[in-house]
Amino acid sequence: MSLVLTSIDRGVCTITLADEARRNALSGAMLHELLDAIDVAEAHPNVRVVVLTNQGRTFCAGADLSEQREAAPGTRPPVGLVDLLQRIRQSPKPFVGRIDGHCVAGGVGLAAVLDVAVAVRGVTFGFTEVRLGLAPAMIAVVCMAKMRRVDTQEAFLRGTRFDSDEAARMGLIAHVVAREDLDATVEDVVNDLLAGEPGAIGEIKRLLNVVPTLDTDEAFAWTAELSARLFTSSAAREGMSAYLEKRPAAWVRRLDDER
């Protein structure tokens, strides 16, 4: 039975974590299937947006503890988790989270690495590693990029659970909605992403990753080169023409389009 379900419709690839029995824990098999699903999404010429969601009451429970308990002493954690987080960060396609379940430990990292995450009000989050004699090590790379230091220290050290509203305040997710509003909110986000030029979205994701690593002079030089290249692109010419002519640009799509 597949642990990850993948479907493609109207330019959107939906990847669903479907291992309810293990609360969608990040086992080696789950990680491999997720990476395969991302391969499918990135290779498909019609996919413009990727939506990551879940079956069951848990979005992702982090590492598969039963699998890790059986590992030999000194065994490194599955490198697939690093691969997964990096693939989502570095993908030129935007990843949207449709989070309809609890997020624990590595599951918080998976939610945080998504470009725009929408969670149901009332689901809980938590960096619970410290209570297992562990640390939120690899996921700290993506979580600390979004959180204030004071929030990070308390959440990592105390290991307590907190609700989705608090996760949004910390910067881990973008939106919190009632369950009945989840699909409509995700659809709004997806429609906005389908209105953006795909190449520009890819460059914006790269900009978000690169600029924080540069000093001020390097950042201005790098962004000036990017701006000049984009302003002279055929996509920008089409975008500016569409704006001046008061028409949608050629790449604009909506989920309710008939075309």
Distance CA(114)–CA(189), nearest Å, equals 13
What confidence tier does 259 reach under pLDDT thresholds 50, 70, 90? low
For 62, residues 6+ apart whose C-beta sits below 8 A from its C-beta are 25, 26, 104, 105, 106, 107, 108, 128, 129
* Tens-digit pLDDT profile for residues 20-33: 999 999 999 999 99
Flag whether pLDDT at 100 surpasses 60: yes
- The full set of domain ranges for the chain reads 4-192, 197-244
User: What residue type is assigned to position 98 of the chain?
Assistant: R
What confidence tier does 79 reach under pLDDT thresholds 50, 70, 90? low
Flag whether pLDDT at 73 surpasses 80: no
What percent of the chain stands above pLDDT 70? 95
* Tens-digit pLDDT profile for residues 160-191: 999 999 999 999 999 999 999 999 999 999 99
Q: What is the pLDDT of residue 35?
A: 96
Q: What is the pLDDT of residue 41?
A: 97
Q: What is the pLDDT of residue 229?
A: 97
Q: What is the mean pLDDT of residues 190-212?
A: 98
Flag whether pLDDT at 67 surpasses 90: no
Task: Name the average pLDDT for the chain.
Answer: 95
* Tens-digit pLDDT profile for residues 113-167: 999 999 999 999 999 999 999 999 999 999 999 999 999 999 999 999 999 999 9
Q: What is the pLDDT of residue 14?
A: 98
What confidence tier does 66 reach under pLDDT thresholds 50, 70, 90? confident
Fold designation for 4-192: 2-enoyl-CoA Hydratase; Chain A, domain 1 (3.90.226)
Q: What is the pLDDT of residue 72?
A: 56
Q: What is the pLDDT of residue 1?
A: 81
Structure tokens at 252: 């604009």
Whether this model's pTM surpasses 0.85: yes
Q: What is the pLDDT of residue 96?
A: 98
